[in-house]
Structure 1
Amino acid sequence: MISDARTLPDGTVIQADFCIVGAGAAGISLALGLSRSGYRIVLLEAGGEKEEAEAQALYEGRVVNPALHSPADSYRQRRFGGTTTIWGGRCVPFDPLDFEARPYVPHSGWPIGYEEIARYYPQANRLCEAGVFDYHSETAFTRPLKPMIPGFDQRHFTTDTLERFSCPTDFHVRYHEKLSAPNIQILLHANLTRIALSADGNRVTEVEARTLSGNSLSVKATCFVLCAGGLETVRLLLANRDVHGQGIGNLHDVVGRYYMCHIAGTMGGLRFSIPPESIWNGYDISDEGIYCRRRLALRPEVQRHEHVGSFVARLHHPRITDPSHGNGILSALYCAKPFISYEYAKRLFEDEPLSWQDWYRHLKNVALGVPDIMGFAWHMLRDRKLAARKFPSVIIKSRAGLYSLDFHAEQMPDPMSRVGLTHEKDRLGMQKIEIDWRYMSQDVHTVKRSLALLKQDIAESGVGSFDYDPQSVEKEMIRYGAYGGHHIGTVRMGTSPRTSVTNSDCRVHGVANLYLAGSGVFPTSSQANPTLTIVALSLRLADHLQSLDFSGT
Structure 2
Amino acid sequence: MLLDANALPQDARLHADICIVGAGAAGIAMALSLADSGLDVVVLEAGGQEPEPRTQALYEGTVEDAALHSPLDRYRQRQLGGSTTIWGGRCMPLDPIDFEARPYIAGSGWPLGPEDLAPYYPAANAWCEAGDYAYTMAEAFAEPRRPMLEGFDESHFSTQTLERFSCPTNFGGRYLGRLRAAPDLRVVLHANVTRLELDEAGEAIRHVEFKTLDGKAFAVSADSVVLAAGGLEVVRLLLNSPGRTGRGVGNAHDVVGRYYMCHLAGTIGSLVLAPPHRAWHGYDVADDGTYCRRRLALRPDVQREQGIGNFVARLHHPRITDPAHGTAILSLLFLARAFVPYEYAKRLHGDERVSVGGWLRHAFNVLRGAPSVAGFLWHWLRDRTLAARKFPSIIVYPRTQRYSLDFHAEQEPNRESRVSLGTSVDELGMRRLHVDWHYTRQDVATVQKSLALLAADVRDSGIGEFDYDPGEVEREMTRYGAYGGHHIGTARMGDDPRTSVVDRNCRVHEVRNLYVAGAAVFPTSSQANPTLTLVALALRLARHLQIRHAGGEPADPGSPA
Q: Which residue of 2 aligns with 1:282?
A: 282
Q: Which residue of 1 aligns with 2:411?
A: 411
Take 1:233 and 1:270, find their aligned partners in 2: how far apart are those partners?
42
Take 2:427 and 2:39, find their aligned partners in 1: how far apart are those partners?
34
Q: Deviations over 1:493-542 (max 9, x none)?
A: 00011000000000001200000000000000000000000100000000
Aligned residues: 552
Take 2:482 and 2:350, find their aligned partners in 1: how far apart are those partners?
14
Take 1:144 and 1:458, find their aligned partners in 2: how far apart are those partners?
22
Secondary structure, aligned partner of 2:454: helix
Take 1:386 and 1:122, find their aligned partners in 2: how far apart are those partners?
28
Q: Which residue of 1 aligns with 2:185?
A: 184
Q: Which residue of 2 aligns with 1:247?
A: 248
1:275 and 1:401 in contact (8 A); partners too: no
The answer for unaligned runs of 5 or more in structure 2 is 554-561
Q: Deviations over 1:211-246 (max 9, x none)?
A: 001111110111100000000000000110153311
Residue identity opposite 2:245 in structure 1: H
Matches within 5 A, 1:125-524: 125-180=125-180, 181-241=182-242, 243-275=244-276, 278-524=278-524
The answer for unaligned runs of 5 or more in structure 1 is none
Take 2:490 and 2:384, find their aligned partners in 1: how far apart are those partners?
34
Quote the sequence identity (%). Answer: 60
Take 1:200 and 1:323, find their aligned partners in 2: how far apart are those partners?
66
Take 1:503 and 1:532, find their aligned partners in 2: how far apart are those partners?
20
1:68 and 1:480 in contact (8 A); partners too: yes
Secondary structure, aligned partner of 1:383: helix
Q: Deviations over 1:417-453 (max 9, x none)?
A: 0000011000000000000011000000000000000
1:199 and 1:243 in contact (8 A); partners too: no
Q: Which residue of 2 aligns with 1:116?
A: 116
2:243 and 2:249 in contact (8 A); partners too: no
69-78 vs 137-146, which moves further? 137-146
Take 2:432 and 2:497, find their aligned partners in 1: how far apart are those partners?
25
Q: Deviations over 1:154-188 (max 9, x none)?
A: 00001000000000000011111122201000000
Take 1:12 and 1:515, find their aligned partners in 2: how far apart are those partners?
24
Q: TM-score normalised to the size of structure 2?
A: 0.97
Take 1:25 and 1:146, find their aligned partners in 2: how far apart are those partners?
34
1:129 and 1:166 in contact (8 A); partners too: yes
Residue identity opposite 1:209 in structure 2: F
1:142 and 1:287 in contact (8 A); partners too: no
Residue identity opposite 1:334 in structure 2: F
Q: TM-score normalised to the size of structure 1?
A: 0.99
Residue identity opposite 2:362 in structure 1: H
2:270 and 2:402 in contact (8 A); partners too: yes
Take 1:511 and 1:550, find their aligned partners in 2: how far apart are those partners?
20
Instruction: After TM superposition, give the deviation of residue 139 of structure 1 in Å.
Output: 2.1
Secondary structure, aligned partner of 1:271: strand
Q: Deviations over 1:472-498 (max 9, x none)?
A: 100111111111000000000000110
1:104 and 1:308 in contact (8 A); partners too: yes
Instruction: After TM superposition, give the deviation of residue 321 of structure 1 in Å.
Output: 1.1
Secondary structure, aligned partner of 1:304: helix
Instruction: After TM superposition, give the deviation of residue 551 of structure 1 in Å.
Output: 6.1
Instruction: After TM superposition, give the deviation of residue 367 of structure 1 in Å.
Output: 1.2
1:334 and 1:349 in contact (8 A); partners too: no
1:89 and 1:169 in contact (8 A); partners too: yes
Secondary structure, aligned partner of 2:318: coil
1:106 paired with 2:106, answer yes
Secondary structure, aligned partner of 1:36: coil
Q: Deviations over 1:33-88 (max 9, x none)?
A: 21111111000000000111001000000010000000010000000000000100
Take 1:170 and 1:140, find their aligned partners in 2: how far apart are those partners?
24
Q: Deviations over 1:242-293 (max 9, x none)?
A: 53311011001000000000000001000000336x3211000011111000
Take 1:526 and 1:204, find their aligned partners in 2: how far apart are those partners?
32
Residue identity opposite 2:274 in structure 1: S
Secondary structure, aligned partner of 2:35: helix
